[in-house]
Amino acid sequence: MAKQWAFYFDSSQCSGCKTCQIACKDKQDHAVGLRWRNVYEVAGGHWEAKGDSNWESGIESYNISMSCNHCEDPICMKNCPNGAIYKNEEGIVLIDADRCMGCKYCQWACPYGALHLNKQTGKMTKCDLCIDYLAEGKQPSCVAACPMRVLKVGELSELRSEFDDWENIYPLPSAHITKPSLVIKAKEAAKKEMNWKIINREEVRDA
C-alpha cells in the first residue's frame, strides 16, 4: 500500500491555545485572514436549577484543531474542473497554483473547511503538510509548535494502530465521505449526544 501521511490529534488534551494556528501562519507567511489551520472551540450542555437558588453546570467543551486531512478520497480533487488538485506519492493533497482558476468549487465541497482563497494571488490554497519540512526530516510547523503535544504526524496505518480513533466527534462529518487521513482522540464528553455548537464562529470564519 502506498504511503499516506496523516495527522493525529488528541482533542482530550488540547488547551485551545492556537499555537498551531499561529505557527502555520508564521511558516507560510500568510496575510491577515488566511489560515490553513483553525482551532474550533466546541461547547454544549446547559445549567440545571438545583433547588431555589443553586445551579449546577452541565456545560462541556473541547477544541478541534483542523486543517486539510489529505483525504484518501478527496472531494476537492474530484470536483476541481482544472485538475489543479492532486495527491502526491506520499498521499499529500496539493494544489498546482498555475492550473487553479479560483472558481472556489473545492471550497464549497470540502467538509473540513480546508480550502481558502488567497486574495492576493486569486488562487485556492490549503495545508501542504509542510512538505519541505517533511523532506528535511522535520515535523510540520503546527506539530512542532504544539506545547501540549496533542498534534502528531505520521503514517496513517501506524497512527491508527497506535491510537484509539473516534470518528463521530462533532462537528466532523462521517469519515466514509472523503476518508480523511486523520486519527482523533476525543474527550469522553465529546462522545455524548449534546447540543454542541462552535462558539468562536467569527474567529474561524474566512476573512
Please identify, using beta-carbon distances, which residue of 26 and 73 lies nearer to another protein: 73
With 0-12 CB in 10 A as exposed, 13-18 as middle and 19+ as buried, what is 156? buried
Q: x-or-dash pattern for another protein, window 177-196, by CB under 8 A?
A: x------------------x
CA distances from 4 to 99, 167, 191 (A): 24, 18, 27
Q: Within 125-184, which residues bind another protein (CB under 8 A)?
A: 170-174, 177
Residue 31 phi, psi dihedral angles, 5° rounding:
-70, 170
Is residue 23 near another protein by the rule CB under 8 A?
no
Please identify, using beta-carbon distances, which residue of 112 and 139 lies nearer to another protein: 112
Binding-site member from 26, 31, 46, 122 for another protein (CB under 8 A): 122
With 0-12 CB in 10 A as exposed, 13-18 as middle and 19+ as buried, what is 205? exposed
Is residue 66 near another protein by the rule CB under 8 A?
yes
C-alpha cell at 174: 462521517
Q: How far is the CB of 185 from another protein (least distance, A)?
A: 18
Give me the sign of the Cα torsion angle 12, 167, 35, 91: positive
Is residue 34 near another protein by the rule CB under 8 A?
no
Binding site for another protein (CB under 8 A): 40, 66, 75, 78-84, 98-105, 108-113, 117, 119, 121-123, 170-174, 177, 196, 198, 201
